[in-house]
């Protein structure tokens, strides 16, 4: 699976990231966010990610949002992808010690959020956002050419939740390297949106968030974003996550949006089941594909090589091995493995200061752990609710 994902990622990258190597060959933000993380986690190379962030910044139109894809002479606007561009800036901020690069991009991020502010109602909820508000290639009641259901008043839980999450990420960037006053404004807007989302979309009977205010359609997308944006407490998030896995009436996330679904499930405490969620990738392998298809329905998928499906090349390291950034610029490492039924596994990934290496082995009901951290890079190991501090160099634990 890792080999196929890496092959797909390489075929979808040339002088820029591309959605596919045969059809459009265009750098879409939704795809590029995942591709950028694959580059960081699997290769440690940030050049295409930096270039992509810069090009997208250059693509912004007078209204403030970026183009959905760039470079291109055929303009297309997907406002939700502009929000993912801000999230990409936050990704780079977390995993690379390059504050000045991000600081130079903050004026563009402010323009993106200013665009959305114009469509926020007095309660913070978005209404009638223009252009192609694409979320995911999925089928379900109310879904239209990749766009999530829109209510009779022009509202959408998925759009409100993505904006809420982006306000939170932008607030962190502004508070740490930008304008603290603006960070405070974003935090206030996020708090207002959280209250509005709970009032408009939460269905306590089903323990789920609906897609619209009428509460007649539901999706894995809305409920994933609810967990990721911290709308619900941990205990409630776990119930939502379990429901997302069992309730077949929800519009399902495609191979692309499973990147967010799997993060939400893990954040809700179900990460030990990660290897059980890869059925769509196993299906691609069983069909003989050597790269990942664009959509979940392989029989109708236009492209058989789409790197937005390469998210396992991130999550095998971030979720299973548990390696993640614990401070801006990856200055500290947090390691929280989710081994499931595995009794032995090891791996390593690039880090700005060198390499992070981990090895886990279950012996006599205890987990034997060896962790090697780069010079000048402290960390912590979290296992079954307990935290163990890690020092640069070799660390051995028996827990």
pLDDT tens-digit profile of 215-247?
Answer: 999 999 999 999 999 999 999 999 999 999 999
Task: Please tell me whether residues 164 and 306 are part of one structural domain.
Answer: yes
CB atoms within 10 A of CB 71: 13
Residue 168 to residue 364: CA distance in whole angstroms? 43
Residue 9 to residue 19: CA distance in whole angstroms? 10
Task: Please tell me whether residues 211 and 106 are part of one structural domain.
Answer: yes
Task: Please tell me whether residues 154 and 225 are part of one structural domain.
Answer: yes
Final residue of a domain: which of 320, 354, 386? 320
Tell me, yes or no, whether 328 lies in a domain: no
Final residue of a domain: which of 320, 355, 380? 320
pTM tops 0.95, yes or no: yes
| Percent of the chain whose predicted confidence (pLDDT) is above 70 | 100
Pair 131, 79: CB distance under 8 Å: yes
The region that residue 231 occupies, defined by phi over 0 for left and psi between -120 and 50 for alpha, beta otherwise, is alpha
Tell me, yes or no, whether 325 lies in a domain: no
Tell me, yes or no, whether 327 lies in a domain: no
Task: Please tell me whether residues 276 and 387 are part of one structural domain.
Answer: no
Domain that holds residue 55: 2-320
Q: Tell me how many domains the chain contains.
A: 2
Task: Please tell me whether residues 256 and 342 are part of one structural domain.
Answer: no
Closest Cα partner for 72 from 11, 25, 4?
Answer: 25
Tell me, yes or no, whether 330 lies in a domain: no
Residue 6 to residue 25: CA distance in whole angstroms? 17
Task: Please tell me whether residues 141 and 259 are part of one structural domain.
Answer: yes
Give residue-wise pLDDT tens across range 291-349.
Answer: 999 998 887 888 999 999 999 999 999 999 999 999 999 999 999 999 999 999 999 99
Tell me, yes or no, whether 326 lies in a domain: no
Task: Please tell me whether residues 176 and 299 are part of one structural domain.
Answer: yes
Final residue of a domain: which of 279, 295, 320? 320
């Amino acid at each position: 699976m890792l080999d196929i994902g890496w092959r797909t990622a390489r075929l979808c990258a040339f002088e820029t990231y591309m959605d596919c190597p045969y059809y459009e060959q265009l750098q879409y933000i939704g795809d590029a966010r995942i591709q950028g993380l694959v580059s960081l986690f699997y290769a440690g190379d940030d050049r295409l990610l930096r270039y992509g962030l810069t090009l997208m910044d250059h693509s912004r139109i007078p209204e403030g949002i970026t183009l959905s894809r760039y470079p291109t002479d055929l303009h297309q606007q997907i406002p939700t992808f502009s929000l993912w561009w801000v999230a990409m800036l936050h990704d780079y901020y977390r995993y690379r010690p390059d504050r000045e690069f991000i600081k130079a991009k903050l004026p563009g991020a402010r323009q993106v959020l200013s665009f959305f502010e114009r469509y926020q109602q007095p309660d913070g909820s978005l209404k009638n956002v223009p252009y192609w508000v694409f979320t995911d290639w999925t089928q379900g009641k109310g879904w239209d050419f990749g766009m999530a259901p829109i209510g009779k008043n022009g509202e959408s839980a998925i759009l409100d939740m993505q904006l809420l999450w982006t306000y939170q990420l932008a607030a962190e960037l502004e508070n740490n390297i930008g304008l603290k006053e603006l960070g405070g404004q974003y935090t206030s807007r996020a708090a207002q949106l959280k209250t509005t989302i709970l009032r408009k979309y939460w269905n306590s009977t089903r323990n789920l968030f609906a897609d619209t205010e009428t509460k007649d359609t539901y999706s894995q997308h809305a409920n994933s974003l609810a967990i990721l944006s911290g709308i619900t407490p941990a205990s409630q998030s776990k119930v939502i996550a379990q429901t997302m896995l069992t309730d077949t009436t929800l519009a399902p996330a495609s191979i692309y949006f499973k990147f967010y679904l799997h993060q939400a499930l893990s954040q809700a405490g179900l990460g030990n089941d990660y290897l059980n969620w890869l059925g769509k990738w196993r299906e691609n392998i069983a069909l003989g594909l050597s790269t990942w298809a664009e959509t979940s329905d392989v029989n109708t998928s236009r492209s058989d090589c789409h790197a937005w499906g390469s998210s396992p090349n991130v999550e095998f390291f971030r979720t299973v091995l548990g390696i993640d950034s614990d401070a801006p610029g990856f200055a500290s490492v947090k390691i929280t493995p989710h081994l499931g039924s595995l009794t032995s596994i090891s791996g390593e990934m690039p880090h700005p200061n060198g390499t992070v290496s981990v090895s886990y082995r279950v012996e006599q009901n205890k987990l034997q752990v060896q962790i090697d951290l780069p010079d000048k890079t402290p960390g912590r190991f979290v296992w079954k609710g307990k935290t163990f501090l890690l020092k640069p160099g070799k660390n051995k634990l028996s827990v």
